[in-house]
Amino acid sequence: MSPARRLDRSLLQTYLGDHLAGATGGSARFARMADAYAQTPLGPALARIAREVDDEREWLRETAYRLDARPSALKRLGVAVAERAGRLKPNGRLTNPSPLSAVIELDLMRAAVVGKRGLWETLDAWADELGLGRERLARLLAQADEQAETLTRLGAVAREQAFAREAEPGGGRGGGDR
């Protein structure tokens, strides 16, 4: 017979604090993306995800504080600096944003959503011990899946816009088969 499992609350507090710091940066990034791409085909879906992520961050903050987990000020600062530094990446263009910006941002945010899904899975696995409602966690898991699917779809649109070239007159680059 295996010993009864016990939740390591110290590790959970660190885990929740780390995810809360990440959620704060992710929420800021999604809000900025929703604004930056508002007038593009990406805009409406990004605005919806930004609202959802902000609501999720708030629920996570309330849950983490109720469970006595708080992100370290240093980690929060580090995430804020990293999020802002990500905006400064060189893209080979001085005045206009590169079409690659949307592709890279969507790839990174899809990865963040998949990581967030892992948090919801962890909380679901320990929901009884933590006094968390499984219905809410099931909704968060389904929402993360839908967000990842949407970001995958938006990524396909952004890749098409970024990498597709219009055919040049005369059959291609440089005038044909040379």
Residue pLDDT, tens place only, 79-137 = 555 555 555 554 444 456 678 999 999 999 999 999 999 999 999 999 999 999 999 99
pLDDT at 16 over 90: yes
* DSSP code at position 164: -
Model pLDDT for residues 145-163, shown as the tens digit of each residue: 999 999 999 999 999 999 9
pLDDT score at 94: 46
pLDDT at 25 over 80: yes
What does the mean pLDDT of the chain come to? 85
Q: Which residue has the tokens 């941002």?
A: 105
> Which band of pLDDT confidence, cut at 50, 70 and 90, is reported for residue 68?
confident
- The residue ranges of every structural domain in the chain are 9-89+100-164
* Chain CA centroid to CA 33, Å: 11
Least confident of 2-11, 64-73, 84-93, 130-139: 84-93
pTM over 0.85: no
Long-range CB pairs of 55-63 (<8 Å, 24+ gap) are 56/23, 56/116, 56/140, 56/143, 57/20, 57/23, 57/24, 57/26, 57/27, 59/136, 59/140, 60/16, 60/19, 60/20, 60/23, 60/119, 61/20, 61/23, 63/16, 63/123, 63/132
| Measured distance CA(24)–CA(15) in Å, rounded | 14
In whole angstroms, how far apart are CA 176 and each of 84, 163, 165, 171? 45, 21, 16, 6
pLDDT at 2 over 60: no
pLDDT score at 72: 61
pLDDT score at 59: 97
